[in-house]
Structure 1
């Protein structure tokens, strides 16, 4: 009998077993659940059941591991370790918050040789677990990226994101000025294609592949009708949602390499995506709320200066 610890709160049963018995396959685990050999507090459960602290997990005799022990984690290059430490804007015993630069991928993929996930060992402290990503940002999007120091904290934060308990605010510079100047974009989205070449498009509500997507927006300033500074708050979490929603208003995000076509690229301005994850407000795993903001990346600061937009100072992180 194993007892679920506080750090394992809200973790799925199959992930709990991968942590304690990494050699047991998903298929074997599901069979043990179906036959009632694995029980939680005496009850039959499914592999996707989420656990609570203090629960008792009945573990039947498990197969002996036949796979060799994993190799020791490689030591991260000093340069990469210094780079990721410079990104830290907030840190405590439960969470780390980074200000990710534009152009750096969150995770690996075809043709990606450097990304945040490969650099996380640079934030490990002593024998503590390797920090974990809780969510993602597009490669071209800069701004706040949340990490968990332990698997249990990661589970709590992931639950907060699923429950829409995390408020995310983005800043964007768009080509053109939306009309009206504020409101909610309620435009379903659909994916066309697969893999790195896939694109997201505005979809008809009756399209069976369409997913609901909603974004609050507000124009914070504008340079005539040519450019605007927008505050964007996604109410759903679809891939490329903010970028496609801005395009659907007829005001694509400046420098967007994928959406907006030629209109998004303007001579005299950096040809990079002007989308920045500015602030996060979330329930802290240890209680209360955490609010963090991030400075603009260099290319957006330059564009703000050129257009006369005044961002002001960045508030210090606050936990209350």
Structure 2
């Protein structure tokens, strides 16, 4: 906060005429270098003259070019829209363009610059192509945050934004922790990074959370990019498995749209004939055995607030007219069952509702997931009394390994006194977002067809406690 306060004070001060600012300066950007305006020859009257009198006052961002609308691209990949044209592509506002070119600047600071009217834009009259970017007939004017950008527009920021420190407060990791993080990687390309999330690692920060996965990945798994990977979906803290992050702002927007369209369109598709462009398959060990070996669950879920707002619970809504709800759809099939009253299920969520799989297993199938005490406490009490004795002979004394970040990954199997959640995102099929973005950025075509876009397939090994339970039940 102190750094932002000092920076904002610097922005409000008149700019210093420092000759060291004349020439080329840079801001870290994933798109291209940001240069200072070097003289009045770059700008015209009347604002141009004012800018030219104070050399080094302004930083110029790359000229705006035809960009891909990530949300529209995601809809195209999902098959919800048949084509995307120039009208869809050029929907970027001035503030979005600044944030895209300067991801290291806090959004609150950029918003303040626009509120104080300290951002300028040079528009090229009649510009229709990128070749007109350096034409000299443009006018420099103040620009508002929500003003739409046009091809060839150049945005100027006060040079005082360079005072923003590049150093960030980072959570220091040991070599063992760094190796552990890199070992979580399943796949990486120019658009996405896929990791096998460990059990017990929170995905996002919050009260009482010192280390979160998005912070660690954003700091230590950037690789060659200056941008930090962004979350596009979630996994519960106690669950594990495949987690996808967008490596750039654009790829994150596309992935957000793909996951959102999967949920929105799930209630309107023909499940037998519809192409599954996004597939997720979870493995879960449940208490009991479903009546049918496979089936489709489609029920509305709603949130119930408990303990005067201190906690909440998701439940099946019986009367949708009296309670706010959202439909949740899950396909399931039995993988294997044991004489100990436990069953391995494969769960395929077609929507992405909070605690969807846990509630569907506990309240619809009547088979709560092992380790899910929130939705299956009573079932655990009965199961422990009946089955714990039968499993005692399978307990083996072994040396348990220690893991970084305080994770206890080997305890919590079915032979432990208190098993932890047995829910793992085992497989995922995802559209090749990197290829789709490349195709959309090809300016030779404004009508994109993603029907033949290839798919990426991922498979994450079971976490140690679930693998141990699998071995015990199969022995």
Fold match, TM over 0.5? yes
Which residue of the other structure, out of 190, 200, 222, is the alignment partner of 2:314?
200
- The alpha-carbon deviation at position 17 of structure 1 amounts to 4.4
- Are positions 1:254 and 2:370 aligned together? yes
Cα distance change, pair 56–210 in 1 and its aligned pair in 2 (3 A): same
Q: Unpaired runs of 5+ in structure 1?
A: 32-36, 310-320
- The alpha-carbon deviation at position 260 of structure 1 amounts to 0.7
- Give deviations 1:111-143, integer Å, cap 9, x for gaps: 211110121121122453222222111001110
- Give the SS at the match of 1:185: strand
Cα distance change, pair 259–63 in 1 and its aligned pair in 2 (3 A): farther
- Are positions 1:280 and 2:378 aligned together? no
Q: How does 1:1-320 map to 2 (within 5 A)?
A: 2-5=64-67, 9-10=70-71, 13=93, 15-20=96-101, 22=107, 23-25=109-111, 56=151, 69=164, 71-75=166-170, 76-78=172-174, 79-120=176-217, 121-164=219-262, 165-193=277-305, 197-204=311-318, 205-224=320-339, 226-248=341-363, 249-264=365-380, 266=384, 267=388, 269=414, 270=416, 271-287=419-435, 288-308=454-474
In structure 2, C-alpha distance between the alignment counterparts of 1:225 and 1:179, rounded to whole Å:
17
Matched-pair contact (CA < 8 Å) for 2:302–2:323:
no
In structure 2, C-alpha distance between the alignment counterparts of 1:177 and 1:127, rounded to whole Å:
48
- Give the SS at the match of 2:425: strand
- The alpha-carbon deviation at position 281 of structure 1 amounts to 0.3
Q: Please state which structure has a larger fraction of its residues in strand.
A: 1
- Give deviations 1:133-170, integer Å, cap 9, x for gaps: 22111001110011222111112222211121421110
Matched-pair contact (CA < 8 Å) for 1:170–1:233:
yes
In structure 2, C-alpha distance between the alignment counterparts of 1:181 and 1:56, rounded to whole Å:
57
- Give the SS at the match of 2:237: coil
If the length of structure 2 is used for normalisation, what is the TM-score? 0.55
- Give the SS at the match of 2:326: coil
In structure 2, C-alpha distance between the alignment counterparts of 1:103 and 1:198, rounded to whole Å:
20
In structure 1, C-alpha distance between the alignment counterparts of 2:356 and 2:294, rounded to whole Å:
17
Cα distance change, pair 179–186 in 1 and its aligned pair in 2 (3 A): same
Q: Please state which structure has a larger fraction of its residues in helix.
A: 2
User: Which stretch shows the higher mean deviation, 205-214 or 287-296?
Assistant: 205-214
Instruction: Supply the RMSD in Å over aligned alpha carbons.
Output: 3.4
User: Which stretch shows the higher mean deviation, 88-97 or 209-218?
Assistant: 88-97
- The alpha-carbon deviation at position 59 of structure 1 amounts to 7.3
Q: Unpaired runs of 5+ in structure 2?
A: 1-62, 73-91, 118-122, 129-144, 263-276, 392-413, 436-453
- The alpha-carbon deviation at position 109 of structure 1 amounts to 1.3
Cα distance change, pair 64–275 in 1 and its aligned pair in 2 (3 A): same
- Give deviations 1:208-262, integer Å, cap 9, x for gaps: 3111111111111111481111010111110000001100121000011321113
Report how many residues are paired. 293
Give the number of the structure whose alpha-carbon radius of gyration is greater. 2
In structure 1, C-alpha distance between the alignment counterparts of 2:368 and 2:191, rounded to whole Å:
37
In structure 2, C-alpha distance between the alignment counterparts of 1:150 and 1:16, rounded to whole Å:
14
Matched-pair contact (CA < 8 Å) for 2:368–2:376:
yes
